[in-house]
Amino acid sequence: MITPPDSSPPPLRSSGEQSRGAPDPAADRQAKQLFDYTLALADDALVSAQRMGWWISRAPQLEEDLALANIGLDQLGQARTLLAYAGQVEGAGRGEDDLAYLRDERDFRNVHLVERDQSDFGVAMARLLLFSAWQAELYGALRTSTDTTLAGVAGKAVKEVAYHLDHARQWVLRLGDGTEESHERMQAALDAEWRYLLELFDNDWLDGDLVEAGVAIDPARLCDAVLARIEPVVTEATLVVPEVAPAIGGGRRGLHTEQMGYLLAEMQHLTRSHPGATW
């Protein structure tokens, strides 16, 4: 969506900066950075929620259907608030639905970890372990962000994620330290997902000013704390911490795996086929 800079409403900021009617390149740049950052967090949560939703009616037991649906719902709630905020920051009139349903693949900023197929239960639990450990540290740190909206989302989400992490932990322990078959499959799932872990800590895409201003958290500085949450679980589950070459990544720059297109096709199909439909 292209809006002439002069006619766009002033970006909404919660950090107290004054906006004026006249074009202000520095403020525009700052708003763009905040938009990109918020979108990255939102898209991780949104895409993960979409993958969680796949499990509804397919989980190994009814209780697990409910659990994965609830975890997905928490993530979707986080995504909705973040997307709505990103839309406000952008100031181009896009709301949460526009951002979720009407962006193309190249405009999504989520990491590859969350977007790939997870129709193997072991993979789903390995991924939830890695992702919720990441989110626990991220939201924990973001609670003190100078951006009050991001801090508010984080303060709420950090408590929900504690339950997600605990759920993943219980399954990884059970399957890892289970039968020979479950142990092997859990290890294979962990090896497969581990390749995508490092992308979370990449900070090349993130503008240093935002970190400097106390708005964003430098993802690289969370690496040790995230690993400290994951590795004891892996060891306790009698599994081995994988030593695998990291995948290439690129999600934060809009470069995605082949499976992302299929995910978006399913997620966006209804809105795109019937624009403006409500019920």
Report the nearest approach of other proteins to the CB of residue 153 (Å).
6
- Among 36, 96, 160, 207, the residue binding other proteins under the rule CB under 8 A is 160
Residue 70 touches other proteins, criterion: CB under 8 A: yes
- Stretches 32-40, 67-75, 87-95, 241-249: which one binds other proteins (CB under 8 A)? 67-75
Instruction: Return the structure tokens found at 16.
Output: 């107290």
**Does 155 sit near other proteins (CB under 8 A)?**
yes
Q: What is the closest distance, in whole angstroms, from the C-beta atom of residue 202 to other proteins in the complex? A: 26
CA-CA distance, 248 to 180, in Å (whole number)? Answer: 32
Q: Is 99 in the site for other proteins (CB under 8 A)?
A: no
Query: 162 or 188, CB closer to other proteins?
Result: 162
Question: Residues 63, 180, 181, 204: which binds other proteins (CB under 8 A)?
Answer: 63
Binds other proteins (CB under 8 A): choice among 13, 51, 80, 185: 80
**CB of 127 closer than 8 Å to CB of 200:** no
Q: Other CB atoms closer than 10 Å to residue 153's CB: what's the count?
A: 26
Confirm or reject binding of residue 175 to other proteins (CB under 8 A). Answer: no
Distance CA 186, CA 243 (A): 15
Does 119 help bind other proteins (rule: CB under 8 A)? no
User: How far out from the chain centre does Cα 203 lie?
Assistant: 15
Q: Does 163 bind other proteins (CB under 8 A)?
A: yes
Rule CB under 8 A: is residue 242 a binding residue for other proteins?
A: no
Contact 250, 200 (CB under 8 A): no
Q: Say whether residue 81 binds other proteins (CB under 8 A).
A: yes
Can you tell me whether residue 183 is helix, strand or coil?
A: helix
- Choosing from 42, 126, 157, 189, the residue that interacts with other proteins (CB under 8 A) is 157
From residue 8, give the alpha-carbon distance in Å to each of 58, 62, 91, 213. 46, 49, 7, 25
Output 34 or 151, the one with its CB closest to other proteins.
Answer: 151
229 binds other proteins (CB under 8 A): no
Pick the closest to residue 257 from 203, 196, 188, 197 (CA basis).
Answer: 196
Told to check if 174 binds other proteins by CB under 8 A, we report no
- DSSP codes joined into one string, 92-144: SS--HHHHHHS--GGG----HHHHS---SHHHHHHHHHHHHHHHHHHHHHHTT
Contact positions toward other proteins, by CB under 8 A? 63-64, 66-67, 69-71, 73-78, 80-81, 148-149, 151-153, 155-157, 159-160, 162-163, 166-167, 170
